[in-house]
Structure 1
Amino acid sequence: MDGLHQQLGPRLHEARLRLALARPLAEAALAGVSGKGGLAAMSGWIPQRLLSALRDTLEARFHGCYWLDMREPSPGEMAEVPSLMRYPAWLKPFVPMVKSYGVPRYGEFDPTLPFALTYLLLFGAMFGDVGHGAVILLLAAALYRRLGRMAWVGMAAGAASIGFGLLYGSIFGYEDIIEPIWLSPLHDPVRVLTLAVVFGIGFIAFTLLANSWNRWVSGQIGKALFDSNGLAGL
């Protein structure tokens, strides 16, 4: 064993170093980089807003000795394009809830904003009470350091509950303290049920349109038009 170690040890060590040095090149080749001699080619995806910065960087590094070709992805490449989502600060707490169902592909409809608005709207409509909403809002604000950005969800839900509580004229379950701005659910249940049905129909139609758009941008024109979850489902 000692003889084999002395005989093969240096060669194995050299091979290990060569493989370690070649690893970045192999990874670059898998990422779309190739080269021969003094030439190198690289392909990839970049946000459109960063194209000017990329061009300036290449110009500063190679002084015109480069060729940059830019194009939009073809329909067949849509599944390969990475998704880069940017959200305003107030919307970011809702992003993990949406991503738990998956991440939209490039070009697909991003449901984060409608999800956030619908979440708050339904919470306020189902839990509309000025007193209870104020408790939720204050409790979420008090736990801001512990909950972080998720506290904004609680505060927004509490505010929505307060808003609908004013519309319903409800304070801690009492509906005889203030007059409702809109309607009283306990005294007008038929109207409330009618509005719920209308909202449900509109929401289903919206989801069918969003699904049709996703099918369309992915090149599945037939499914976008004639699938039961597409325009034909309307």
Structure 2
Amino acid sequence: MDSGSCATPDPDLTLCWGLLLSCRWMRGACGPPSQRLPPVPAQARCLMRPRESLAPARMQRVALVVAEQDRASMLMEIARNALVELDLPYEPGNGSGEVDKAAAAAVVNGPTAALVGWTPQHGIPALTEALAPLGAAVVPLPGPRWIQPPTLFGGSSREGMSRTLVDTYGTVPYADLDPSRLAALAYVLMFGIMFGDVGHGAMLLACGLVLRSGRIKKLASLKRAWLFVSASGMAAMVFGALYGEAFGPTGLVPVLWLEPLANPVPLLLAGLGVGAFLLAGAYAVGTINRVREGGWGLALYARSGAAGSLLFLSVGLLVWGLAAGIGILTATSIVLSSGSLVFIFIGLYVEAGGGGTAVVQAFIELMDTIIRLGSNIVSFARLAAFGLTHAALLMVVWNGTTALWVPGWRAGAAVLLFLVGNIVTFALEALVAGIQALRLEYYELFSRIFQTEGRPFKPWAPEATTVGNPATTTADTGIPAERQLP
């Protein structure tokens, strides 16, 4: 049987192929110790260790084949290593009978039994070595095209606030690039624009360092967020220096760029420019993801692919041409936008299934795409709006402080107003800026990067590994003790 004939819509047939393929393994894997295959060399294991990348770890569909009487022992070893997500006909749990249930779900063919599942490619050598003493074999299988492999990130990309930032929106599809690091940078940038103040940024940086120290036990669960908080504080300090703001317009730092309240229009245009830059990046990543998901056939016609990117580029050229009075840019933008709209319409028409109804649906969605594109860019005006709000609140606090500052008891009231006003503004604006940056991240950027949602890798690793008799039927699941191959 060739590999091409194995790509069948019946998972059991794929498993049959794996068992047949494993026949050449059985003499080496399940025979006497002297005839077993040698363990994978350490050099090979090193070559397959996970490495930092912008994509999930490569997954491999595998069949785990062992002598029928050793299937429970193999499952206990699998549970200890936590490297395999088993395909089981029930929802796995952590009960005392999990090993028995999984063993009963194995496919038995004569003296051998097998289970299928997913495992990271870099974990295959370690898994093979762990199962070798039991005479078990790890047989690679072709992944079914209709099943999406689970998503797993290794190394430092598995944890951290940048990973949480993306996972809160949804699991990255297996075929897509992981934008977590880029998303974290975009979030910090947007937060800094809206929270620009040297003093408040220093306070936020201090909060991040306190989290890193771990001295406050009640905040121990937030320790991994220290770098994210500290980076946001430093971004706020940078933009505070550009605005000349340090606990308000106190004059403690010079204005390096502009005063927000005195120059709101340049700040507004800058916010729109930052938004256009971030949207361009989102369209670029989205186009790459569409290619990885379905090839150029999908990417060319997708609103979040090449056609959408071309439409966004044409809008940018149109604005540039009109602002600078360059006619060739305006003409080029009209040609590009017309072509991109045609491609988007074709993609929407095919997606709707064709026919007269599909034409109407595609036209409506095309109009929605055009309207949304303009609203998405304008949405980034909130970067300037909340930056102005922050500056306005601190100006009110500073004006009240200077008005009260006279010799006598009113000086104490001025100090109290300054302290309380800054604390309240810090807490309120940090919350607002954090929420608004998250909103822009999710609704304006991630909506272009992702079209579908993946599923996380869930290794089969029950806490309890009590083994009974796998030859009996599990009463609470109704799974037969053995599934015999024909």
Selected match of 1:202 from 258, 273, 277:
277
Offset of residue 230 of structure 1 = 1.5
Name the amino acid aligned to 1:106.
Y
Is 1:43 aligned to 2:116, yes or no? yes
Whether the aligned pair in 2 keeps the contact of 1:168 and 1:180 (CA below 8 Å) is yes
Name the amino acid aligned to 2:196.
G
Give the aligned partner of residue 9 of structure 1. none
Give the aligned partner of residue 6 of structure 1. none
The alignment partner of 2:117 has SS state of coil
Is 1:88 aligned to 2:156, yes or no? yes
CA deviations on 1:8-50 (whole Å, 9 max, x unpaired) are xxxxxxxxxxx99963334x44xxxx22122233332211221
Whether the aligned pair in 1 keeps the contact of 2:128 and 2:137 (CA below 8 Å) is no
Partners of 1:118 and 1:59 lie apart in 2 by 47
Whether the aligned pair in 2 keeps the contact of 1:91 and 1:113 (CA below 8 Å) is no
Give the aligned partner of residue 107 of structure 1. 175
Name the amino acid aligned to 1:25.
A
Partners of 2:141 and 2:115 lie apart in 1 by 12
Name the amino acid aligned to 2:297.
G
The alignment partner of 2:294 has SS state of coil
Give the aligned partner of residue 133 of structure 1. 201
Cα–Cα, structure 1 residues 21 and 178, in superposed 2: closer, same or farther, change >3 Å? closer
The 5 Å alignment of 1:159-198 reads 159-174=234-249, 176-181=251-256, 183-186=257-260, 187-198=262-273
Name the amino acid aligned to 1:184.
L
Cα–Cα, structure 1 residues 184 and 220, in superposed 2: closer, same or farther, change >3 Å? same
Give the aligned partner of residue 61 of structure 1. 134
CA deviations on 1:105-136 (whole Å, 9 max, x unpaired) are 21212222122111111111221111111222
Whether the aligned pair in 1 keeps the contact of 2:172 and 2:178 (CA below 8 Å) is yes
Structure 1 runs, 4 residues or longer, greater than 6 Å off: 19-22
Whether the aligned pair in 2 keeps the contact of 1:225 and 1:231 (CA below 8 Å) is yes
Cα–Cα, structure 1 residues 37 and 91, in superposed 2: closer, same or farther, change >3 Å? closer
- Which stretch shifts more, 123-132 or 88-97? 88-97
The alignment partner of 2:178 has SS state of coil
Partners of 2:99 and 2:156 lie apart in 1 by 42
Whether the aligned pair in 2 keeps the contact of 1:137 and 1:159 (CA below 8 Å) is yes
Partners of 1:141 and 1:134 lie apart in 2 by 11
Offset of residue 157 of structure 1 = 1.8
Q: Which of 1 and 2 has higher RCO (CA within 8 Å, sep 6+)? A: 2
Name the amino acid aligned to 1:84.
L
Whether the aligned pair in 1 keeps the contact of 2:186 and 2:278 (CA below 8 Å) is no
The alignment partner of 1:44 has SS state of strand
Cα–Cα, structure 1 residues 20 and 58, in superposed 2: closer, same or farther, change >3 Å? closer
- Which stretch shifts more, 137-146 or 121-130? 137-146
Partners of 2:98 and 2:195 lie apart in 1 by 61
Whether the aligned pair in 1 keeps the contact of 2:244 and 2:259 (CA below 8 Å) is no
Q: Percent identity?
A: 32
Name the amino acid aligned to 2:283.
L
Is 1:223 aligned to 2:298, yes or no? yes
User: How many corresponding residue pairs?
Assistant: 205
Name the amino acid aligned to 2:284.
L
Offset of residue 98 of structure 1 = 2.2
Offset of residue 87 of structure 1 = 5.6
Cα RMSD for the two superposed structures: 3.2
Cα–Cα, structure 1 residues 99 and 223, in superposed 2: closer, same or farther, change >3 Å? same
